[in-house]
Structure 1
Amino acid sequence: MRSVQLRARRMRGMTLVELMVGMTLGLFLVAGIGSVFVATGDAGRTTENLSRLQETARTAFSMMSRDIREAGLNDCGRVDKVMNVLGTAATPPPAWAAWNEGIRGFDAGQDAGNPVSGTGVGQRVATEDALQLMKGSSLGVSIVQTVVGAGATTPAALWVTDTSQFQPGDIAIACDATLATIFQITNTNPAGGNLQVVHNTGSSVSPGNCTKGLGFSANPRDCSTNGVSYSFKPNSRVLRFESIAWYVGNNGRAATGGTSLFRMRIGNTAGAAAPVGDELLEGVSGLEIDYLVDGATQYVDATTVTAANDWGDVIAVRIHLSLTSTALEANASGGAERMQREFFHVVTLRNRVS
């Protein structure tokens, strides 16, 4: 039989050069994977920030458009005369209830009254525009008749079909085809099988009514106790008055940009009506608004419309929003910055476009 002899071989390891080459290749591989991971993360953050800005813009335009389209609307259409009896003989109606064709804009630096400009949380950023809108609520009730007073006493109540949506302190509008009157409800109560909306004078609510009369009087308005009496015919309407303002305000969170889009509304606290600012969308850093007047071909700013007394002829509003991401992302120089984008939207006023 043939025998086979096996020769034992000496064990050999990697040389130092081979080890260093392998480590170098490994480092290149890890660095490559790391750079891909970092790039993917940056791209993901960029995509997320952009998506959030686009969603913020869509939401902002949707909410603002709803209010703008309804500016100046009420259940009685565009009436010839508007009377405002809020306040006292010595105190005019508050700025948030001073009806001016249902729409009024304020350029950067202009005092809007409410919202108040300043650096406090919820206050308007003075370098941005603001938009004030007024309208009647979409939910109104019919007037059965004006409560008739005795002798020369002006009636201070309206009989209506329902009072469930009203409470003392609410600001309301009573209107028919020719007149709309803004007043504050002082009480609601049933009487003789009908429900009453009371609009008396006195200090039970704020800012109160300067007169019981809801009839029209030119400036200076008649703020005597009885004022100008007016009887709203059956099927006239009573609805809550809505005053809204859109503006960029301070949110107190500097780490995420510091500003948001706010919507001001009129709140009612124990009979006292006053503006309340609600923060809606974070990351809105700029608001610029221009207006198109009927018969014109170019949009103009609020100052121009005010100078020409053309608020009653505004038919469209162009909104320019500047949005800033709340999260930081890396820039080309190795630092961090916020993504910024500009968005535009045009809204027409529903009751002014033929």
Structure 2
Amino acid sequence: MQATYLQQRHRRSKGFSLIELMVGIVVAMAAVIVVMQVFKMSEGARRTTTGGDDAQTIGAIALTVLQRDLRQAGQGLTNPNLLNCDLLLRAGVTLNGLAPLTINHADIPAGDAGTDTLLIVYGSGLGSPEGDRINTQAGAAIYSVSTPSAFRVGDLVIAAPAVRQAPCGLLLSNVAAAPVAPNVTVAFGTAGVANGTLYNWGTTPRVVAYAVRNGRLTTCDFLTQNCRLTTAANWAEVADGVVSLRAEYGRDSTLPPDAVLDGYDQTTPTTAAGWNCILATRLVLVARNGQLESSDVTASAPAWAAGASAPIGLTGNWKRYRYKTFETTVPLRNVAWQGVPTGC
């Protein structure tokens, strides 16, 4: 009896066997794997959701920035004596083909493959956007105008002759001294502009380019930077995650013109009359979710307006990302205010 009791007590004190430990470890590992899988799925869903929110926010901000400039496009430069002229912005820097809005301007390097660039120009002067008549001229740098009070020291101005020259080359200068009626004195004048027009672009005009580079919407101010170079020193980032920008001109193609928009295309006008028939622009921005998925989640590239001549094209491993498109049409109101153009 005593021996049997001791043997049973000895068997009860041995603890877990190796098989029991291995089974326990396997069960624990299975539980950990299940927990990790649930966590992975939850984290992936969270990143997809927050990434979509980021794309929504980034695209909305980028589109707002573009619309702000596009609504001002053409302020102070829609007169035929200015349109499509070459403008010397500063020593050694000439903007070729002056216009309110240019898609894929020759002076702006191309952005990412399958994207467009925009060049937007407008002034901020206090005077008439149609300019001030130059009654007489004293030398090259003093203009006698009808309303000198519309000019201030530091305003950027353009003096254009009464008859458009060929080739049409203009100079951007600044008001160098407080106007003394009826004279406005500039730092660098243009000879032979008596009976012409002095256009006031104010102290903060914009000659600004936009391009998508390396998956980012970037901008360059042509008045202060060399926008012909694509270095970071010249192009500032507006929004990360914008992978495409496409745009088209809204054109009045009726003959004779009737100031009604008839269609869209990417054909850039080559004459002042042609620019007068560009009434709007439509564009699309494509923002990308920053979450790279483990498999393809986008079967086909995003699309925009029906009949658009510039389809959205994406490069690289684009199918493993999600996208949001932001599309709008912006009337060029400073062109529309000119009334029905005389020709296109």
Interval of TM-score (by shorter of Structure 1 and Structure 2): 0.5 to 0.7
Which residue does the alignment assign to 2:172? 184
Change (3 A) 1:29 1:164: farther
Matches within 5 A, 1:1-354: 10=9, 11-12=12-13, 13-74=15-76, 79=79, 81-82=81-82, 86-87=87-88, 94-95=94-95, 98-100=97-99, 102-106=100-104, 112-117=105-110, 124-125=111-112, 127-137=114-124, 139-140=125-126, 149=137, 153=139, 156-157=142-143, 159-160=148-149, 163-166=152-155, 171-173=156-158, 183-185=171-173, 188-190=176-178, 196-201=184-189, 212=190, 226-230=191-195, 237=200, 239-240=202-203, 241-249=205-213, 258-268=214-224, 276-294=234-252, 295-296=260-261, 298-300=263-265, 302-303=266-267, 310-326=274-290, 328-331=292-295, 339-349=321-331, 350-351=333-334
The TM-score normalised by the length of structure 2 is: 0.63
Quick one: which amino acid aligns to residue 105 of structure 1? I
Cα deviation, 1:19-48, whole Å, max 9, x if unaligned, reads 343333222211111111122222222223
C-alpha separation in 2, matches of 1:186 and 1:162: 10
Q: In the alignment, is the contact (CA less than 8 A) between 1:147 and 1:156 conserved in 2?
A: no
The CA RMSD measured in Å over matched residues stands at 4.5
Which runs of 4 or more aligned residues in structure 1 lie more than 6 Å from their structure 2 counterparts after TM superposition? 142-145, 272-275, 304-307
SS at match of 2:119: strand
Change (3 A) 1:298 1:68: same
- Tell me how far 1:63 sits from its aligned partner: 0.7
C-alpha separation in 2, matches of 1:64 and 1:30: 50
Q: In the alignment, is the contact (CA less than 8 A) between 1:246 and 1:262 conserved in 2?
A: yes
C-alpha separation in 1, matches of 2:217 and 2:227: 23
**Percentage of pairs with the same residue:** 21
Change (3 A) 1:287 1:173: same
SS at match of 2:53: helix
C-alpha separation in 2, matches of 1:310 and 1:17: 88
Which residue does the alignment assign to 1:253? none
Aligned length: 283
C-alpha separation in 2, matches of 1:325 and 1:141: 45
Change (3 A) 1:114 1:264: farther
C-alpha separation in 2, matches of 1:305 and 1:274: 21
Cα deviation, 1:106-144, whole Å, max 9, x if unaligned, reads 3xxxxx332224xxxxxx33642122222112x535899
Quick one: which amino acid aligns to residue 330 of structure 2? T
Change (3 A) 1:104 1:55: same
- Tell me how far 1:165 sits from its aligned partner: 4.5
Quick one: which amino acid aligns to residue 215 of structure 2? T
Cα deviation, 1:216-257, whole Å, max 9, x if unaligned, reads xxxxxxxxxx32313669xx85525422222222xxxxxxxx
The TM-score normalised by the length of structure 1 is: 0.62
